[in-house]
Amino acid sequence: METSRIKTVDALRGIASASVCLFHLTNGPTPFVFLPEGPLKSLGSFGKLGVQVFFVISGFIIPYSLFKAGYRLNQYGIFIIKRIVRLDPPYLATILFVIVLGYLSAMVPGFHGPPYRVTIPQVLLHLAYLNVFFDGNWLVGAFWTLAIEFQYYLLMGLLFPLISHKHTGMRLLIFLLLGSMAIQFPDHHFLPHWLFLFMMGMLAFQRRSGLIGGGTFWGVLAMLAGGACYTLEPAMAGAGLAATLAITFGNFRNRVLLFFGTISYSLYLVHMPVGSKVINLGYRFGHGMAAKLSLIATGFVLSVAVAGLLYRFVEKPAQAWAAGFKYRK
């Protein structure tokens, strides 16, 4: 069965999704220099750390859900099916939305740039997140993290019995092996590079599930934070550490953040195509700072509105569909 939602995790999802959205609106790739260097652009640049927060959340919520459901290794197939059914419908709907939006935008009078084109192989590679293996271009730049997440699901379904093992030594050994992978395989397109962040989430799961005591938690957390600093960046390690502490000890239920947490996946999927189109179109009519701020606000609001529709009509039904696949005792 599905775990009950943890409000703090939902609030963190809301912070992460809104932050990534604002990052791409203020620092995202455009054919022109949209925002000049300054406080607004610098502040928006911190929004990219929302990706690392998402990795910690996944590191926590997947084993936590499996633990509550009484998952066993022979149920691996059901676990993968549940993840695919839960995540792929909104993902596939967004791919269709992006393609249609791209071709329609190219038909608008005054369109600038090369004709919009996608190839069938490029689209097909998206269906199993295979772009990273074939140097294919993502239709949306932010999709690269979905491939990382899917690699994590494949791994966690296999490692969960060891992550939740009753013997502390076994759990520490797995952390040691995963940490070694993170150091030995630094390619950021693949899961090993990000494993210290996912392990922070796993550690939060172990603490909240009563598998480890306080002393072990703090000691391992210090080592994981050090590993994240070494393999990533101090800012990313700091974001992961803050997320881990919030998941483990936090208890906040802000309604606005919970709303953004509810639509966080849908918002992550659609904010780049929607926001970039708003900025590219609006920039033709005004270049002043007031106009730029209005475009950022409009892009954010429209991204949230489209995400709300995607959640209501695609993601929420997919959640119910995935919940129908049960782990049989």
Position 13 pLDDT exceeds 80: yes
Would you state the pLDDT for residue 282? Answer: 81
Would you state the pLDDT for residue 3? Answer: 39
Gap between the Cα atoms of 172 and 193, Å rounded? 19
Would you state the pLDDT for residue 32? Answer: 54
Quick: pLDDT tens for 205-243.
999 999 999 999 999 999 999 999 999 999 999 999 999
Residue scoring higher pLDDT (2 or 62): 62
Q: How many Cβ atoms are within 10 Å of 8's Cβ, its own excluded?
A: 19
Gap between the Cα atoms of 320 and 113, Å rounded? 42
Mean pLDDT within 153-170: 96
Phi-psi category of residue 235: left, alpha or beta, with phi > 0 → left and psi -120 to 50 → alpha: alpha
Position 2 pLDDT exceeds 50: no
Position 1 pLDDT exceeds 50: no
Amino acid identity for residue 326 in this structure: K
Q: Where are the domains of the chain?
A: 7-321
DSSP 17: H
Position 318 pLDDT exceeds 70: yes
Quick: pLDDT tens for 79-134.
999 999 999 999 999 999 999 999 988 787 766 667 888 999 999 999 999 998 88
Would you state the pLDDT for residue 34? Answer: 77
Would you state the pLDDT for residue 37? Answer: 86
